[in-house]
Structure 1
Amino acid sequence: MTEPFLTEDRLAIQAMARDFAMKEVLPVANELDPRHGEIPMALREKMAELGFFGILIPEEYGGLGLGLSEYAIIVEELARAWMSVAGLIARGQQFTAGFDADQRDRYLPAMARGEFLSAFALSEAEAGSDVANLSCRAVPDGEGWRITGQKMWCTFADGSDYLQVFARTEPADPAHRSRGVTCFLMPKQRGTLPEGVTGTPVRKIGYHGWKTWELAFDGAYASEIVGEPGKGFRIAMGDLDTARIHTAARAIGLARGALEDSIAYVGERVQFGRPIGVNQGLRFKIADMAAQVEAARALMYQVCTAVDAGQPSPTQASMVKLVASEMAERVTSEGLQIHGGAGYTTDFPAERYWRDARLTTIFEGTSEIQRRIISDALLGRADRA
């Protein structure tokens, strides 16, 4: 499966991304993540030079014009070093499906250069998995709108160049709760929040390198809409296949980091006069870890190939997200165990892989939501039985 997928061109892309990740990203992650430091601007600029923010953007707009397969390959390599950096590249090329021709002309070239990166303001306190249950509202004001309400889990709200905000412009319809939601684009200066928006950083246990925010909109002004008014929910859901495959690739990268570091550690750590890697118990752990990583990667390659061939499947995207994220939680936990007490310190990346892997089972739809999507596809929706 993997040999025909990894063509000569893709192997070259993989080697380039791996070299960058190990030489440029990993040392920065090892230094900054333990003290919750932020991804340096210099690193972002190097990523832009390599085209990482425009992998999926067509060449006519200055992007690389590559497919989801190449995107997943690069994401895995970056996540092996630091998951936050692997997440950052999505900020220039996902959730743009609702752009009209004028917006594509104005924004995609800047996105491809890493100069117009987004923060996604969708979730709320009562609208997490039940994302249609939005209460944030927007009312007309002249040629624009005033947005009022709360948003949760808005990563990169301060460092981004614009917020993509989802708010109700029509009263909720109990029979069609996803209707009446509009997507707004709010440009802003990096390092600030838009006027009329205040925020509090979330005290999270991982995914360091950038802040995740709880935001309060108090009549914040927005003049630009993405897509049609009242149909923003379709935009929010439109790129979920890509987002879930992106998370699967991040999970695989984290698991591979745990595996590779564990292989190195059992060869170096000596107990009872010999390396601990001679112990069958640890050897079998590593064998199981390696097999699980390979299995998840093979499924990801299969799903990417289908999407690039014009055969997307939300069910398969949910499957690979579920399989890869839960695999990563198991494998990174085993990696920490292999490191023993050292793994429970910030002196080794083992604990970082473990903390970040735990998040992959939650964001972009929890494992429970993925199981519901998959089971509904196979058995029909339970609420319609």
Structure 2
Amino acid sequence: MTELTEEQRLIQESARTFTREVVRPLADKLDPVKGEIPRELIEQMAELGYFGILIPEEYGGLGLGALEYCLVAEELARGWMSVASMIARGNALIGSLKAMTPEQKSVYLPRMAQGDFLGAFSLSEPDAGSDVANISCRAKRVGDEWEITGNKYWCTFADGADFIMVFARTGAEVDPKARHKGISAFMVEKPRGQLPQGVSGSPIPKIGYFGWTTWELALDKCRVPAANLIGEEGKGFYLATAGLETARAHTAARSIGLAQAGLDDAIAYSKERRQFGQQIASFQAIRFKIASMATEIEAARALMYSVCSKIDSGVRCDKEASMVKLFASEMSERVTSEALQVLGGGGYTTLNQVERHWRDARLTKIFEGTSEIQMRIISDHLLGRG
């Protein structure tokens, strides 16, 4: 496994303490009632620099790498995966950094690093999920503005964000042989707590990932200044995919954090719960479950560190990023399910937090590319079919 530096260990320990003292207690209180992540918590995260981990120092960020980003995400996910996901709302544009103009960088990035300009990502549509190139939402140039019309799906934090990154088709016709071309990216700025003008929406009912709302959006001639086009017109597909390696490592980190939280809860319960006159931790069935869970977590963590090191070294690793996302998310569901089993009937109640870890772990197999999509990417690389 990659050896962490002293600085990285301090970052990890700081995030672990913050999670233990602040995030976990809030999650235990708010998740059962589907409460919103409080603004006060977001402000505390901003003070710790979590929204600027990947943003260069010249723009007020920490200028760190994917490994530090994932170290923080893993620890936050041990408390509440939604909070671990929140840090992407500030580091979200890093994949688009090279495409931004100097003016856009100077305006947006310092505010983002301070947690004062957080975003939502609107790429998916009712008919465009894994098939991202199937986007049908359209943007039409009208004078000094763009007018966006269409439907979007799975846009988390659309109401609480300060902007929504919307991907829409600007090309006149879809080329069947190059459907990914003609898609553009727009930064739709908006008042915090509201949807943008020209946008209506309905919350999507979820079985987990509470703390914020995930939206279905309808854009009806939503106006955006021409200056808010990010990157070149028609090249938005490349912006959407530019940061996938880091995004998938981030999902792996969240998966590992959830699994670790499940293991922690299972160990604690096994020492407290007594049956047949002794701790259930003394039973081989329980001990072996815990040993297997811990081993799987450590294997996923080692792979995640390796992938992050490649990303930070500038080495292309889309295959390995897919591997860690696949392995860690599948592992997380197994481990949190086993943790629930250790708690028995109590695990199947909302009186214990392991059910939250289990519900949220299930989502990691779906977002940032399903497990099946990851297997397709990996096999394409191995078989030379990419």
TM tier relative to shorter chain = over 0.9
| Secondary structure, counterpart of 1:63 in structure 2 | coil
Distance apart, 1:95 and its partner CA: 3.2
Residue 267 of structure 1 corresponds to 271
Residue 342 of structure 1 corresponds to 346
CA distances 1:219-251 after superposition (whole Å, capped 9, x unpaired): 111111000001100000011111100000000
Is residue 148 from structure 1 mapped to residue 146 from structure 2 by the alignment? no
Letter matched to residue 373 of structure 1: I
Distance apart, 1:265 and its partner CA: 0.3
Distance apart, 1:328 and its partner CA: 0.2
Distance apart, 1:270 and its partner CA: 1.1
Letter matched to residue 242 of structure 2: G
Matched residues, number: 380
CA distances 1:242-293 after superposition (whole Å, capped 9, x unpaired): 1100000000000000001100000001112211111100100000000000
CA distances 1:1-43 after superposition (whole Å, capped 9, x unpaired): 24xx211111111110100011000000000001100100010
Percentage of matched positions with identical amino acids: 61
* Alignment check: 8 A CA contact 1:95 1:235 kept: no
CA distance in 2, matches of 1:353, 1:54: 26
Letter matched to residue 210 of structure 1: W
Is residue 110 from structure 1 mapped to residue 114 from structure 2 by the alignment? no
Which of residues 312, 318, 326 in structure 2 aligns to 1:322? 326
CA distances 1:121-171 after superposition (whole Å, capped 9, x unpaired): 100011001110011011111111111110000000000000100001112
CA distance in 2, matches of 1:320, 1:78: 19
CA distances 1:75-125 after superposition (whole Å, capped 9, x unpaired): 100001000000000011123423221111000000000011110010001
Q: How does 1:1-385 map to 2 (within 5 A)?
A: 1-2=1-2, 5-96=3-94, 97=96, 98-170=99-171, 171-223=173-225, 224-381=228-385
CA distance in 1, matches of 2:234, 2:160: 28
CA distance in 2, matches of 1:293, 1:377: 26
Distance apart, 1:68 and its partner CA: 0.8
* Alignment check: 8 A CA contact 1:94 1:243 kept: no
CA distance in 2, matches of 1:240, 1:315: 11
CA distance in 1, matches of 2:122, 2:353: 30
Distance apart, 1:380 and its partner CA: 2.3
CA distance in 2, matches of 1:319, 1:94: 22
Letter matched to residue 121 of structure 2: F
Distance apart, 1:347 and its partner CA: 1.1
- Detail structure 1 runs of 4+ shifted over 4 Å in the superposition: none
| Secondary structure, counterpart of 2:133 in structure 1 | coil
CA distance in 1, matches of 2:6, 2:170: 49
Letter matched to residue 195 of structure 1: Q
- The TM-score normalised by the length of structure 1 is 0.98
Letter matched to residue 38 of structure 1: E
- The TM-score normalised by the length of structure 2 is 0.97
Letter matched to residue 222 of structure 1: V
Letter matched to residue 161 of structure 2: S
| Secondary structure, counterpart of 1:204 in structure 2 | coil
Distance apart, 1:63 and its partner CA: 0.6
CA distance in 1, matches of 2:231, 2:311: 23
CA distance in 1, matches of 2:270, 2:297: 19
* Alignment check: 8 A CA contact 1:161 1:189 kept: yes
* Alignment check: 8 A CA contact 1:137 1:167 kept: yes
| Secondary structure, counterpart of 2:78 in structure 1 | helix
**Over aligned residue pairs, what C-alpha RMSD do you find?**
0.9
